[in-house]
Amino acid sequence: MAPPIYVLGTGLSHNGSAVLLKNGKICVAIEKERLSRVKHDGGNDTLAIQYCLDAENIKLSDIALIVQCANFDIPKTTHYKGKRVFAESDASKIITISHHLAHAYSAVGTSPFSECAVMVIDGCGSPLNQFLELHPKQKEFIPSSVVENNGMQCEKDSFYHFDGQTLKPLWKDFSPMADQTQDKFALPTTQHSIGGFYATISHYVFGDMQDVGKLMGLAPFGTSGIYNVDAFEFDGPSLLVKEDWKNYFSNPSKGYGHFKENFTYYANVAKWAQEQVEKAVLKCMQLRLEAFPHLNVCYTGGVALNAVANSKLLEKNIVKNLYIEPAAADNGLALGCAYYGWIEYLKKPKTMHNGNTCFGKQYDQNEIDLALSDEVKDSFTIQKFEFEDKLLTHIAEQLKEGKTVGWFHSGSEFGPRALGRRSILAHPGKENLKDFINLNIKFREDFRPFAPAVLSKMAPDYFESGRNSPYMILIDKTRSQYINQLKNITHYDGTARLQTVDGLWNSRFTKLLIEFKKQSGIPVLLNTSLNRKGTPMVETPEDAIQLFKETALEILVLENTVLEKKSNSKKQITNKFQIKTLTA
């Protein structure tokens, strides 16, 4: 029997990650931040790569090919922002690919399509000179006006066709870098970037460019039509960011207190910005599909995490069959690197993916027991369940009563959304529970919404479209008759960022939803990530226990081991994690 063929993909941008393919299938993947405990961590990739090797119990010498990607750099084998794991080894062949190509292959490899178009829209991709150094044969796809421009230019949006074996560029747009000498509206990316625009508005509203998802959560509190100005325009097929909109905004963030005092103002700004992004995304996709029609479309890049814009692509029938890569931001680059190595470089056939997006290692009972220190045993009630049905019955009972549950099960999610492996779960309709979780567990702003996890077959009963949404990157509207029953997961405008759950790759979470429905009559749970504001989702049992200790979480499930706080009171937690400013 032939030994397995391993391909390692590594992303060295911010949101760094590593992915290991075994005979064309993902066997393990991890984002660096889960290990370093530093949000959006990137750069040196040794920590993430070693995790993958250890989880699969292999050595570097077992890997047939390594593919890497980093913004603005072609990393050296031995060092990149520190010593790399390859420095003292006879590493296999290492190749480098460009930013948008890595994004595109992350979607191609995990999509359900054997043939498709691929759209990439993000903040900023590879510089033109680096792109041409890595892929000289693709110069023919770049407009001569771009090639002849001597200034610094980077990928802005790209459109490809995948025929089942080869990914061909159909349209690639580049943009000059934005002028960084500007003050409050200096885009952190290229001059004409949807992602850069959204990031700079996030900085204007919150004083923070990193968590642009907050804008999408704030926008429903705003009013349309307050600002009669467009942020984007099109020069033929090319999207451009205009300049005159900047004259309308002169009250940038001055901290959380200022934000609260001017909440309506900032909500209106967020509403305007969100609507501008939606129009830009829809127009870009429409123009590309008019020029290069296809029924199947993969969509990726950081802008593809905008769930409201994504849903409108379907609602307005711009896209027939849409697949959005769950790790669409730079955490997915390693995924694309690995698939490029397998499909394009090694010329192996694409292996159809089963839809799973949880690729972390599983922690066994021995590792959980080691995390249960004497202090933990003294502080909490600990119960171990031999049978899964008994565990599920107990947890469903506690959720029905309004308890908050940290749910740690199997391998962790790859991507920004908790999907039932590293989740905080709660009743979707108990009074004041949403505010309690935001204030005392997540330690974040009170306007931030929570998502519903719903049994797939019952989604149409409770939500208007009931569309399949396993990765929590599409929105739906809660049916009017269930808004009160689902008040904790229904946003201010009646929408919900839905996660549909079935047993294909989320078996235990599906069983818990079934048991909760049996006891409460509701096939829906509030689901949010197992972390607090400013920290990555937990990865290890130790991480989960630490979070349990420092928050008001009442129950923590570590596989078959259940920790419960000895005090049943929902005391307000006041500690160093309370919100002081928006950037805390």
Separation CA 454–CA 460 (nearest Å): 10
What is the predicted pLDDT for the residue at 581?
36
Would you tell me how many other CB atoms lie within 10 Å of the CB of residue 501? 30
3-state secondary structure 460-525: HHHECCCCCCCCCCCEEEECHHHCCCCCCCCCCCCEEECEEECCCCCHHHHHHHHHHHHHHCCCEE
Architecture of domain 6-101+334-345: 2-Layer Sandwich (3.30)
CATH 3.30.420.40 in the chain, residue ranges: 6-101+334-345, 112-324
Residue 25 confidence (pLDDT): 98
Tens-binned pLDDT, residue by residue, of the chain (584 aa): 899 999 999 999 999 999 999 999 999 999 999 999 999 999 999 999 999 999 999 999 999 999 999 988 899 999 999 999 999 887 679 999 999 999 999 999 999 999 999 999 999 999 999 999 999 999 988 888 888 888 889 999 999 999 999 999 999 999 998 876 656 677 778 889 999 999 999 999 998 766 788 999 999 999 999 999 999 999 999 999 999 999 999 999 899 899 999 999 999 999 999 999 999 999 999 999 999 999 999 999 999 999 999 999 999 999 999 999 999 999 999 999 999 999 999 999 999 999 999 999 999 999 999 999 999 999 999 999 999 999 999 999 999 999 999 999 999 999 999 999 999 999 999 999 999 999 999 999 999 999 999 999 999 999 999 999 999 999 999 999 999 999 999 999 999 999 999 999 999 999 999 999 999 999 999 999 999 999 999 999 999 999 999 999 999 999 999 999 986 444 445 444 444 434 32
Cα–Cα nearest to 134, from 84, 69, 80, 44: 69
Euclidean distance between CA atoms 364 and 341, whole angstroms: 32
Phi, psi of 332 (to 5 degrees): -85, -5
Yes or no: say if 87 and 77 are a contact pair by the CB < 8 Å rule. yes
Q: So what's the pLDDT on residue 88?
A: 83
CATH domain 112-324 topology? Nucleotidyltransferase; domain 5 (3.30.420)
Q: Where in the chain is the domain with CATH 3.90.870.20?
A: 365-565
Q: What is the pTM of this model?
A: 0.95
pLDDT at position 437: 98
Three-state secondary-structure class, residue 266: helix
Give the pLDDT score at 182. 59
Q: From the CB of residue 584, how many other CB atoms can be counted at a distance below 10 Å?
A: 15
Q: What is the CA 490 to chain-centroid distance, rounded?
A: 20
Q: How does DSSP assign 113-179, residue by residue? A: -SSEEEEEE-S---BHHHHHHH-GGGGGGS-HHHHT--S-EEEEEEEEEE-SS-EEEEEEEEEEBP-
365-565: CATH topology:
DHBP synthase (3.90.870)
Q: Are 159 and 119 in contact (CB under 8 A)?
A: yes
pLDDT at site 383: 97
Distance CA 343, CA 531 (A): 36
Torsion angles phi and psi, residue 545, rounded to 5: -65, -40
